[in-house]
Amino acid sequence: MKNKTVYIPLDIEYEGKNYLKSRGYKIIIGEDVEKKSVLEAIKSCDAILTRSNVMIDKEVIQAGEKLKIISKYGVGINNIDVDFASKQGIYVTITPEANANVVAEHVMALMLILCKKIMIMDHALRSGNFDIRNNLYSEDLEMKTLGILGLGRIGKLVAAKAYYGFGMNVIGFDPYQEKEASFIDIKQSLHDVLVEADIISLHLPLLPSTHHIIGVEEFAKMKESAYLINTSRGGTVDEKALVVALKKKTIAGAGIDVFEKEPPDVQDELFTLDNVIVTPHSAALSKDGSVKMAIHAALQIDQVLSG
Ligand code: NAD
Which residue has a Cα nearest atom 18 of ligand 1?
210
Using the 8-state DSSP alphabet, how is residue 237 labeled?
B
What mean pLDDT comes out for the span 54-69?
Answer: 96
Is ligand 1 within 6 A of the CB of residue 176?
yes
Is ligand 1 within 6 A of the CB of residue 178?
no
Model pLDDT, residue 265: 97
pLDDT classification of 33: cutoffs 50, 70, 90? confident
Model pLDDT, residue 65: 96
Q: Where are the alpha helices (DSSP H) in the chain?
A: 14-22, 35-42, 58-63, 82-87, 96-115, 118-126, 132-135, 153-160, 166, 190-196, 216-221, 239-247, 287-305
Q: Which of 78, 99, 154, 192 to mutate to test the pocket of ligand 1 (most atoms within 8 A of CB)?
A: 154
Tens digits of residue pLDDT in 252-282 = 999 999 999 999 999 999 999 999 999 999 9
Model pLDDT, residue 177: 87
Is 64 a residue whose pLDDT tops 90?
yes
Task: Name the average pLDDT for the chain.
Answer: 95
What mean pLDDT comes out for the span 190-209?
Answer: 97
Is ligand 1 within 6 A of the CB of residue 149?
yes
If one counts every other C-beta atom within 10 angstroms of the C-beta of residue 209, the result is 9
Q: Which of 79, 97, 99, 103 to mutate to test the pocket of ligand 1 (most atoms within 8 A of CB)?
A: 103
Whether ipTM tops 0.85, in short, is yes
How far, rounded to the nearest angstrom, does the alpha carbon of residue 65 sit from its chain's CA centroid?
Answer: 32
Using the 8-state DSSP alphabet, how is residue 145 labeled?
E
Residues known to be catalytic: 233, 262, 281
CA 140 vs CA 57, 166, 208: distances in Å? 47, 9, 36
Which residue has a Cα nearest atom 19 of ligand 1?
174
What mean pLDDT comes out for the span 276-300?
Answer: 95
What mean pLDDT comes out for the span 158-178?
Answer: 96
Model pLDDT, residue 1: 64
pLDDT classification of 180: cutoffs 50, 70, 90? low
CA 156 to ligand 1: nearest atom: 26
Task: Collapse the DSSP code of 28 into the 3-class scheme (helix H, G, I; strand E, B; otherwise coil) and give the result.
Answer: strand
Tens digits of residue pLDDT in 84-96 = 999 999 999 999 8
CA distance 251 to 241: 11
Query: Is the sign of the CA dihedral 120, 124, 125, 131 positive or negative?
Result: negative
Which of 228, 286, 223 lies closest to 258, judged by CA?
A: 228
Is ligand 1 within 6 A of the CB of residue 237?
no
Which residue has a Cα nearest atom 37 of ligand 1?
232
pLDDT classification of 150: cutoffs 50, 70, 90? very high
